[in-house]
Structure 1
Amino acid sequence: MTPRFFPLAATAFAVLAALPAQADDSNLETLTIFGDAEAVKTVPGSAAYLGEEALEKFDYTDIMRVLTAVPGVYVSEEDGFGLRPNIGMRGSSQSRSEKITVMEDGVLVAPAPYASPAAYYFPTIGRMQAVEVFKGTSAVRYGPRTTGGVLNLVSRQVPDETAASVNLAYGSDNYIKAHGWAGGGSERLSGLVEWMHYQSDGFKTINGSGNDTGFNKDDVVLKVRSRSDASARIQQETEFKFHYANEDSDETYLGITDEDYRQDPYQRYSASQKDNMDSERFGYQLNHAAQLTPGLAWHSAIYYNDFARNWYKTGSGIVEEASLWDRDPAGQLPQSVDVKANNREYSAWGIQTQGEQAVGDHTVTFGVRYHEDEMDRFQWVDQYELGPDQLMRLTEAGIPGTDSNRIDSADAWAGFVSAELRFGDVRVDTGVRYEHVETLRRDWGKADPGRTQTPARKSNSVDGLMPALGVSYQISDDWLILAGVQKGFAPPAPGNNSAEEEESWNYEAGFRFNNGPFSVEAIGFLSDYDNMHGNCTAAQGCDEANIGDQENAGEVRIQGLEFSADLRPQAAGLTWPLGLRYTLSDSEFQNSFSSDLETWGEVTAGDEMPYVPEHLVQITAGVEGERWDLNLLGRYQSDVRTVAGAGAIPTAELLPSRWILDLSAHYRFDERQKIYVTVDNLLDETYIATRIHGGIQTGKPLSAIIGYQYDF
C-alpha cells in the first residue's frame, strides 16, 4: 500500500509549522483525551483515567493486568505476559482486542484497524505514562469500533526540563527488564529518547526436549518537539515521533488436554517445539497543534505504521494426538507434523485533523480522518518428523505463497461533530460520527505463489451514521447523575459475504459521588445489537479456509452494572488506601444460528455469550508511609463458559472461578531512587486461563520481581 497523499500532507504540516505565533496560555496537548483523572469526574458517560502513579503501583508490563482496574473491561489471559492481549468492553468479543478501538497518542495503532482488526501487535504498557478508557457516549469522536469502547495509551511525553530515568528489574523464570529514557532541551526545541527491553524464559517446559518457553521484546522511541517563540503571532507546537519494536517469543496455540493439565499444568507438547512468533514494527507520527484564535485550537496528525510478523506454529487441532505422542513416544513416534508459517505484513497510514471552538461556556469539536490499511498474507507449510527422541526434524520445506496467499485492504473516510454544552449545573454532550468504509480482498489462491494471474476479488462498501447524546446534572458539589444513548458501529471485514456492518444501540445511566478521600461510581449499561460480528481467526478455532471471514450473529443483548469505590483514610500517621471494582454482566443471543466459530458453534436463542463472566471483582488494600508503601490486589472472576450455551456449563467448556492475589512494595531512599518488589499470583493458584484454541492454556504461576529505579 502506498500512502498516496503522504507527501502532500507532510507539506501542509511544514507550512503550518512555519506560521508565526503569538504567546498564549492555552494547553496544546494533543495526545491525551482527558489529560488527568479530574477531567473524568464530569464526563456524562463511562470513562477512566489511569495516570503514571497508578501504573507504577504494581509496575505491570501486562496491559491486561492493568485494565482489571477498570469496570466494564474484560480480559482473557493467554500467554501469561500479555504479549497479544485479548480485551473486550461491555461484553464485546475479547479475541485479539478486535472489537474495540485501540489508539496510542490519539491515533489508530492496530496493524490494520479496518481490513484486519485483530491486534497481533499491541503497544508495550511499560513505557506508557497514562491509560484512558471510555465507553458509550464518550466514544463518539473515535472509531471505527464504537460499540464496546475505546482505549488510548499515552506514551511518555517530552519533558520541559532535562530529565532521565533508569529502571532495572530481575525476577522469576529469568525475567529481566531494562528501561531507560532521557529528554529535555531548550524552550523551543526539545526531544526524548527511550528504550525498553524485557524478557523471560517462560513458565512452561516443552516435553522431551526440556526446553523453556519465553520471549524477548524491545521498544525504542524517539521524539523531537518544536515550539514557537513566545513572541510570535500564533502559538504552535510540532512533534515528530518514531517508534520501533521487535518481539521473539516461543508461543503456541497448541494447548493441553484436561488430563494432562491435572498431571502437569505447565507442560507443552513436543509437537509445539518449533512454535515461534517473530515480529517487527516501525511507526511514524507527526503531530501539529495551533491556537489560531483565543477560542479556536487546531490539532492534526499524520501517521504511518508498518508491521511484519511470522507466527510459525503447529495447528491447534492436534491436541489429542500430541498428547498421545508424548505419553508414549516409543509406541507413537515417529509422526509427521505440519508447521505453518503464518507470515503476514501489515501497513496502515492516515491523516486526521480536528478543531475545537469555544463559544462562551460551550465547546464545539469537529474533525475528519482519511485512513488506508492492508494485510498481506503470504504463507506456507513446512513438514517435520517428530522422532522417538521427541525432537522435530525438517523433512520437506514448503514454498512461500502456497498456503494462504491474499491481500485484504481498506480505505475509510470518517468525520464527526460534537458539542459540549453547559447550562449551569447541567452538561450535555452530543454529536454524530460518520464512517464510509470500502474493503477489498484479492486472493491468488494456493496455486499462484508468484501472483501472476488475476486474483479473485471480493469487495464491500458501507456507510455508518452514529449519533450520541449524554447528559449529566451536578446535584451538589459531591453528587452527579448521568445518562446517555449512543449508536455503535463496526465495519464489515473483506471476508464478510453479506457486507453487513455491526450496529447496536447502547444505553447507560448512573451516578458519581466525590468527596475528598471517598468516591463512588455506579453505571448501568445495555448494549442492544441489531447485528453482532464474529471474526474468524485461528484464535477462534476456525478452519484455515475460513480464516479472515466474518460471521453475523444477528440480535444480541448485553446488560450489566459497573461499580467502583475508593477510600483513603488516615490513621497512626499512615494512609490506608482501599479500592473496589465490580462488573456484573448478563448476555443473551436473541436468535438461533450455526457458526464456524469455535466459541459460538450451534447457537440457540437464549444462549449466553462465551467468555463473558457474570461477576468480575477487584479489591485493593494498602498502607503508605512517608517513604514506603505496601499494596495487595485481589482479582475474582466467576465461572466462564467458553462456548455459547445455557444452563450448567459442561466441564470441557468451563473456566472455573478463581481468585488471584498480587502484591507490590516500594521503598524510596530519597526523591530520586527507589527499590520495589512485585509478586504476581502470590498464592500460586493453578488455573485455566483459556480454552479458546482447542486445548487448555494455563495461567501464570507465582512470579516475583525485584527492581531499582533512579531518576536523574
Structure 2
Amino acid sequence: MTFSNVFKPAVIATAIASVVSINAIADDKADDIEHLSIFGHTNSVNDIPGSAHHLNKEALERFNYTDIMRTLTSVPGVYVLEEDGYGLRPNVGMRGTGQNRSEKVTIMEDGVLAAPAAYSAPSAYYFPTSGRMESVEVLKGTSSAMYGPRTTGGVINMLSRQIPEEELAGRLALQAGEDGFGKVHGYVGGSGEQVSSVVEVFHYQADGFKDINHSDADTGFKKNDVLAKLKVNSDSTAKYYQELELKVKYADESSDETYMGLTQTDFEVNPYTRYSASQKDNMSTEHKQLQLNHSIDLSERFSLGTTAYYNDFKRNWYKTSKVNGMSLSSGGIDAAAAFDADSSVGDLSVDVKANNRAYLAQGVQSTLFADLNEHQLKFGVRYHEDEMDRYQWVDTYNIDQNYDMTLATAGTPGTDSNRIDSASAIALFIHDQYTVNDFIINAGLRYEDMTIERHDWGKSDPSRDATPSHKKNDTDVWLPSLAVTYKVNQDLVLLGGVQKGFAPPAPGNDSAESEESVNYELGLRFNKESVNAEAIAFYSDYSNMHGNCTASQGCDDDNIGNQYNAGEVDVKGFELKAGYSADLGDVAMPIDLTYTYTSTEFKNAFSSNLDTWGDVVVGDELPYVPENQFQLTVGLEGDNWRGDVLVRYLGEMRVAAGQGSYTADDIDSRTVVDFSAHYDIAKNQQVTFNIDNLLDEEYVTTKTHGSIMVGKPRTMTVGYRYDF
C-alpha cells in the first residue's frame, strides 16, 4: 500500500513531539470529541432527523453488559443474532439489512471505522470491546449518510473512555459469576494545565456454558483490552485554540469457539453440549490501534477536526470444517453426532482449518464545522486503505474410540486459501442543517470513489512466487439525502426524510454489483416532563440487494467470498420507543418500551449458493429478520439503590428465504428476562447483582451449518465498584 509509511510509529512520535514543543497546552475550551462523535456536545438527539439514540454511561451501567448485542436491543430498528452467548462475534443489522457479522452496518469507535477492512472484507471477526465504552451512539435514516461506506441501515459509534476532567480520577470494578465468568476493569487519569491522560485496562473471561462430549477441553474465552490516551492543548488565550490527542490501544483474545452446533435430537437431550470433534476449535486474535486526533478553532464560527488512524488486526480461527470428508452442513454434523453416541463404528476423520488472516486499515479524515447562524455546515473528506490477507491451511485429525484427537496430517500454510483482498477509497461529504422558524432542514451529499481488488495465488503456490490472478472493481457513487423536522410545539416534533442507500460490491467477483436503495422515513418525536416517545415508519426500496457468502453463514469453502445479487427487495416497518418515569414518593419507577415491526419481500426470483437465500421465488421473506421484536424495562430507584427487570421478546425467524407458515426448520419465538440490582454502600462504592436469562429459557439462536446453536442459560454475577 502506498500510504503505510505515514503511520510508522516513529513518524507519529516525531509529529507529536513537534506539536507539543510548539504549543505546550491545556484547557477545555474546545469540544475535543466534536469530530469523533455523531451528536457532538451541541446537538440534541431530539433535533436529529430520523431515529437517533444515545446510550450514555448511566444507561450502559444499568445492566453492566459486556455483550454489545444485549446493549443494542434497547434501540428500535436494530436486530441482533446471537452466536457464542457472550457477544464475542456480534451480528448486528438495522432496518432489514441482515445481521451477518454486522457487514451491512457502519461500525465506528471514536468516529473511525472499526471493521479491520471495512471496504474489502466488512464481515470480519473483530468488534470493539463494548464493556469498556463510555457511551454508544446509534443513528439510522437520512443523517447516517455522512458515515459511509454503508448508508442503508445506519451507524453505530462507540465512544471510548474520555480523559477525566479532574486532576486525578479513576475506577476499579470487579465482577465474578457462574461458568467461571470474571471481569476486571480499571482506569486512572486526569487533566492538568497543559497535559491530560488516561490509562484503561479491561479483562474478562469465562469457562463457557457448554461441555464437550467425552472431553475436558475448554469452551470459554479470555480477552484483554488496554487503552491509553495522551492529550495536549493550547492556552485558552491562544489565537487558534488547538488540541492534539494520541490514542493507543492493544487487545488480544483466546476463545474456544466453534461453528459446530447440535442436531435437533441432541439439542432436546442437552442443549449445552458440543461434539468431541470440536475439541481443538480456538480463535486467537491480536489488535493494535493508533489514532491521532487534532482539533483547531479557526475562529468563532469555524473549527476543524482531523484524525489519522492505523488498525492492525490478526486472527486465526482454528476450527472444524469437515467430518469424514463432509462439510458441517452436508453431513458432517450428523457424522460427529453418530460418533459421539457410539465410537465403535471406527475412527473419525476431522479436518480442522486454520482460518488465518491478517487485516490492515489506515487513513486520514477531516471535518470542517461552520456556524453560519441559520446554517450549520459540515464538510468532510476521508482517504482510506484496507486489506485482508488470507493465508490458510487444513490439518487432519483422527479421533479414536476413546475420543482422543491426534494429528494425522499437518497442512502447509497457504494451501487452503491464499489471497489478498484490498481497497482504497476517497470519500467526500457536505451536510447543511438549515433552521428557518420551526423547520430544520437537513440536506446532505456524499461521494465515494473506491477501488476494490483481489490478488489470488490459489492453493498450489504458498510461497506466492507466481503471478496471481487479479480481479478489480472500480466504483463511484453519489449519495444524496434530505430530511425535515417541524416543531409543532415545545413538546412535539414531526420528522421525515429520504436518502440513497449504498453498500460496496465484494472483491473477487467481476459480476458483483453495488447494493443500492432509496430509503424513506416518517415519524414524530414527543417529549414532555417525564414522558418521551418516538414513532417512525421506514421503507427501504432496494434496486439491488446483495448477499456475501461467508463461513459464518455455512457457505462451502469454494463459495466463500462470492456475492449474489438479489435485485429488487422491499423492506418496510415501524419503530416505537417510549419512556415514562413514575414518581412514587420516595421511589421512582422508570419504564422503557422498545418495539420494531419489519416486513420484507424479494421482488425477483433467482438462485444462489448462499445458504440462507438458496432458490428464491417472488414474495419470499428475508431470513433471520424477525417480524416482531419487543423489549420492556421496568425499574425501581431509591436514594442509594436501584433494581431493573428487562423483558426481551424476539419473534419467529426464517432460517432461509421463504413465505407462508413457519416450519419446524425455522427458529421459534422466545422471551428472555434479565435482572439487575445496584446498591451504594458508600458515596463512591457500589455492589451489583445481575442475572442474565432469569427464567433459564432454552432457546435456539441460529441454525447455520445444518445444526443448532443455543443461547446462554441463566447466569448470575456479583460485582463491586470503587470510584475515586
The amino acid of 2:687's aligned partner reads I
Partner residue in 2 for 1:129: 134
Equivalent residue for 2:81, pick from 73, 76, 81: 76
Question: How far is 1:415 from its partner?
Answer: 0.5
The amino acid of 2:288's aligned partner reads F
Unaligned segments of structure 2, at least 5 residues: 322-327
Contact residue 491 and residue 526 of structure 2 kept, 8 A: yes
Q: Name the CA distance, whole Å, in 2 between partners of 1:242 and 1:681.
A: 36
**1:28 maps to 2:32:** yes
Equivalent residue for 2:668, pick from 641, 649, 656: 656
Contact residue 24 and residue 233 of structure 2 kept, 8 A: no
Partner residue in 1 for 2:531: 518
Q: Name the CA distance, whole Å, in 1 between partners of 2:290 and 2:128.
A: 14
Change (3 A) 1:334 1:625: same
Partner residue in 2 for 1:352: 365
The equivalences for 1:30-429 within 5 A come to 30-35=35-40, 39-161=44-166, 162-315=168-321, 316-317=328-329, 318-330=332-344, 332-429=345-442
Equivalent residue for 2:685, pick from 673, 679, 684: 673
Change (3 A) 1:21 1:420: farther
Contact residue 442 and residue 455 of structure 1 kept, 8 A: yes
**1:445 maps to 2:458:** yes
Q: Name the CA distance, whole Å, in 1 between partners of 2:495 and 2:458.
A: 53
The amino acid of 2:558's aligned partner reads A
Equivalent residue for 1:463, pick from 476, 489, 492: 476
Secondary structure of residue in 1 paired with 2:630: strand
Q: Name the CA distance, whole Å, in 1 between partners of 2:404 and 2:586.
A: 61
* Cα displacement string for residues 515-542 of structure 1 (whole angstroms, at most 9, x for unaligned residues): 0110111000001111111011011111
Partner residue in 2 for 1:484: 497
Question: How far is 1:551 from its partner?
Answer: 1.3
Q: Name the CA distance, whole Å, in 1 between partners of 2:16 and 2:148.
A: 24
Secondary structure of residue in 2 paired with 1:140: helix
Q: Name the CA distance, whole Å, in 1 between partners of 2:223 and 2:552.
A: 22
Question: How far is 1:46 from its partner?
Answer: 1.2
- 497-506 or 339-348, larger mean C-alpha shift: 497-506
Question: How far is 1:425 from its partner?
Answer: 1.1
CA RMSD of aligned residues (A): 1.7
* Cα displacement string for residues 265-296 of structure 1 (whole angstroms, at most 9, x for unaligned residues): 01100000000000100011000001101000
- 617-626 or 354-363, larger mean C-alpha shift: 354-363
**1:539 maps to 2:545:** no
The amino acid of 1:666's aligned partner reads H
Change (3 A) 1:38 1:567: farther
Contact residue 46 and residue 138 of structure 1 kept, 8 A: no
The amino acid of 2:223's aligned partner reads K
Question: How far is 1:21 from its partner?
Answer: 8.9
Question: How far is 1:694 from its partner?
Answer: 2.1
Q: Name the CA distance, whole Å, in 2 between partners of 1:620 and 1:646.
A: 33
Change (3 A) 1:24 1:73: closer
- 189-198 or 537-546, larger mean C-alpha shift: 537-546
- 391-400 or 184-193, larger mean C-alpha shift: 184-193
Using structure 1 for the length normalisation, give the TM-score: 0.98
Q: Name the CA distance, whole Å, in 1 between partners of 2:27 and 2:65.
A: 40
Q: Name the CA distance, whole Å, in 2 between partners of 1:103 and 1:269.
A: 36
* Cα displacement string for residues 177-235 of structure 1 (whole angstroms, at most 9, x for unaligned residues): 00000001412201110001000000000001143410000000010001111222111
Q: Name the CA distance, whole Å, in 2 between partners of 1:580 and 1:38.
A: 24
Q: Name the CA distance, whole Å, in 1 between partners of 2:372 and 2:24.
A: 25
The amino acid of 2:31's aligned partner reads N
Q: Name the CA distance, whole Å, in 2 between partners of 1:365 and 1:491.
A: 24
Secondary structure of residue in 2 paired with 1:569: strand
**1:6 maps to 2:6:** yes
Question: How far is 1:333 from its partner?
Answer: 3.0
Change (3 A) 1:307 1:26: closer
Partner residue in 2 for 1:496: 509
Q: Name the CA distance, whole Å, in 1 between partners of 2:292 and 2:369.
A: 19
Change (3 A) 1:290 1:20: farther
Partner residue in 1 for 2:702: 690
Q: Name the CA distance, whole Å, in 1 between partners of 2:477 and 2:97.
A: 19
Contact residue 420 and residue 428 of structure 1 kept, 8 A: yes
Question: How far is 1:5 from its partner?
Answer: 6.1
Equivalent pairs: percent with the same residue? 52
Q: Name the CA distance, whole Å, in 2 between partners of 1:2 and 1:464.
A: 23
Q: Name the CA distance, whole Å, in 1 between partners of 2:343 and 2:28.
A: 74
Secondary structure of residue in 2 paired with 1:44: coil
Contact residue 512 and residue 563 of structure 2 kept, 8 A: no
* Cα displacement string for residues 19-78 of structure 1 (whole angstroms, at most 9, x for unaligned residues): 699989443323221146971111111111000000000000000000000000000001
Contact residue 203 and residue 212 of structure 1 kept, 8 A: no
Secondary structure of residue in 2 paired with 1:450: coil
Q: How many residues align?
A: 710
Question: How far is 1:15 from its partner?
Answer: 7.3
* Cα displacement string for residues 636-663 of structure 1 (whole angstroms, at most 9, x for unaligned residues): 01111110000112212x1100100000
Question: How far is 1:361 from its partner?
Answer: 2.6
Contact residue 27 and residue 233 of structure 2 kept, 8 A: no
Q: Name the CA distance, whole Å, in 2 between partners of 1:693 and 1:104.
A: 31
Secondary structure of residue in 1 paired with 2:298: strand
Unaligned segments of structure 1, at least 5 residues: none
Contact residue 677 and residue 705 of structure 1 kept, 8 A: yes
Partner residue in 2 for 1:472: 485
Q: Name the CA distance, whole Å, in 2 between partners of 1:476 and 1:495.
A: 53
Change (3 A) 1:347 1:7: closer
The amino acid of 1:246's aligned partner reads D
Q: Name the CA distance, whole Å, in 2 between partners of 1:552 and 1:696.
A: 27
Q: Name the CA distance, whole Å, in 2 between partners of 1:240 and 1:549.
A: 38
The amino acid of 1:72's aligned partner reads G
Contact residue 23 and residue 231 of structure 1 kept, 8 A: no
Secondary structure of residue in 2 paired with 1:54: helix
Equivalent residue for 1:638, pick from 651, 654, 657: 651
Contact residue 665 and residue 678 of structure 1 kept, 8 A: yes
Q: Name the CA distance, whole Å, in 2 between partners of 1:20 and 1:385.
A: 64
Change (3 A) 1:553 1:167: same
